[in-house]
Amino acid sequence: MQAPLLEVKNLKKYFDTPNGLLHAVDDVSFTIEKSKTLGVVGESGCGKSTLGRTILHLLDSTSGTILFNGRDITKVGKAQLKELRRDMQIIFQDPFSSLDPRKCVSDIIAEPMLIYKKYPNRKAAMEKVAELMETVGLAARLAYSYPHELDGGRRQRIGIARALALDPQFIVCDEPVSALDVSIQAQILNLMQDIQQERKLTYVFITHNLSVVKHISDDIMVMYLGNMIEKAAKQELFQRPLHPYTQALLSAIPIPDIDVPKKRILLRGEVTSPIDPKPGCRFAPRCQYAKPECFETNPEIQEVVPGHFAACHRVREINSLGSECGGGQV
């Protein structure tokens, strides 16, 4: 196993609100190897976007550690942060609002290169822009078009080209295809996979769409109200979801075969507030397996079977598992 590119340990991001402390990301730990994709999935408001932004220092962490290439980047000064931006980039969900409407395509893509003085002059930067436009499938004739003149797919291609402008190693992809038509989604996902292979990029891919996460990820992490509640390799997670919440999520994926019966698990009950959350499992009010102990302590994430982690007091009982494994690193 190669050394991880990114190691996140016990990361927390809390927000002060008039009603109390909002636990947006609460004690999340994971590692990603170079050139791999970690899919982060969960309902809206589970903290997945906050997690991505905290890793990139777009938000300050409350506590925890972030190691990048083995270097502690949890607290960095302005100069170090500028250096980090070369290696760590983001692709946003809404390409339209993330692009400067006053700039044409070539200027948008060139901007990071000019700020970072990556090339000796504007001409060299513009040659790189042309190369990047070709990489992401944007016709050269669009170089002087403005974002409002283009469709969503093309705008997202600009967002991808811009993210690649500084030759990063790591990209947080924050719902990059959610705002696009289904037919365009597949094109953008395939493009992102091709670019990843060519450039050995590492992705954290944030989405609420299970089909998308299945298509693009190597490993998948499931979040619920700020907590990481399950993590495993993609095939393992889809074949054997262990946490009751993941089981409910996967039961909602439609199967294109009417002869295969499928029982959908409906979640009932109130969603717990992430503001000053009560002790106990945050999923307990909606969990069909909840017992009194579940309302007392929040379960720790544990390795239930080799390489497969879940945070549930009753995970072995629910899934009829023995104590196959115990206590590996997330």
Nearer CB in complex with ligand SF4: 232/312: 312
Nearer CB in complex with ligand SF4: 269/307: 269
Nearest approach in angstroms of CB 301 to ligand SF4 is 11
Kind of pairing, strands 308-310 and 227-233? antiparallel
Nearer CB in complex with ligand SF4: 30/283: 283
In the range 157-196, which residues lie near ligand SF4 by CB under 6 A? none
Nearer CB in complex with ligand SF4: 4/299: 299
Nearer CB in complex with ligand SF4: 226/299: 299
Nearest approach in angstroms of CB 220 to ligand SF4 is 17
Nearer CB in complex with ligand SF4: 256/327: 327
Nearest approach in angstroms of CB 51 to ligand SF4 is 20
Q: Counting contacts by CB under 6 A, is residue 313 touching ligand SF4?
A: yes
User: Token digits for 110?
Assistant: 């060139």
**Diameter over CA atoms, the chain:** 68
Q: How far apart, in whole angstroms, are the C-alpha atoms of residue 103 and residue 113?
A: 15
User: Can you count the helices (H) and strands (E) in the chain?
Assistant: 11, 12
Q: How far apart, in whole angstroms, are the C-alpha atoms of residue 55 and residue 6?
A: 9
Q: Counting contacts by CB under 6 A, is residue 225 touching ligand SF4?
A: no
Q: How far apart, in whole angstroms, are the C-alpha atoms of residue 95 and residue 37?
A: 21
CA atoms within 13 A on the CB side of 224: 25
Q: Which listed residue (314, 316, 321, 330) binds ligand SF4 by CB under 6 A?
A: 314
Nearest approach in angstroms of CB 246 to ligand SF4 is 10
Q: Counting contacts by CB under 6 A, is residue 299 touching ligand SF4?
A: yes
Q: How far apart are the first and last CA of the chain?
A: 14
Nearer CB in complex with ligand SF4: 239/288: 288
Nearer CB in complex with ligand SF4: 28/242: 242
Nearest approach in angstroms of CB 194 to ligand SF4 is 38
Q: How far apart, in whole angstroms, are the C-alpha atoms of residue 260 and residue 119?
A: 57
Nearest approach in angstroms of CB 270 to ligand SF4 is 13
Nearest approach in angstroms of CB 280 to ligand SF4 is 8
Binding mask 239-258 for ligand SF4 (x = CB under 6 A): -----x--------------
CA atoms within 13 A on the CB side of 133: 23
In the range 268-297, which residues lie near ligand SF4 by CB under 6 A? 281, 283-284, 287, 289-290, 294
Query: Could you tell me how far CA 166 lies from the centroid of its own chain?
Result: 21
Nearest approach in angstroms of CB 285 to ligand SF4 is 8
Show the CA angle centred on residue 171, arms to residues 167 and 175, nearest 5°.
Answer: 140
Q: Which listed residue (38, 180, 304, 312) binds ligand SF4 by CB under 6 A?
A: 312
DSSP line for 97-150: HHS-TTS-HHHHHHHHHHHTT-SSSHHHHHHHHHHHHHHTT--GGGTT--GGGS
Q: How far apart, in whole angstroms, are the C-alpha atoms of residue 154 and residue 256?
A: 30
Query: Could you tell me how far CA 103 lies from the centroid of its own chain?
Result: 28
Nearer CB in complex with ligand SF4: 129/242: 242
Nearest approach in angstroms of CB 297 to ligand SF4 is 9
- In a 10 Å sphere around its CB, with 0-12 CB exposed, 13-18 middle and 19+ buried, how is residue 33 labelled? middle
Site of interaction with ligand SF4 (CB under 6 A): 244, 281, 283-284, 287, 289-290, 294, 299, 312-314
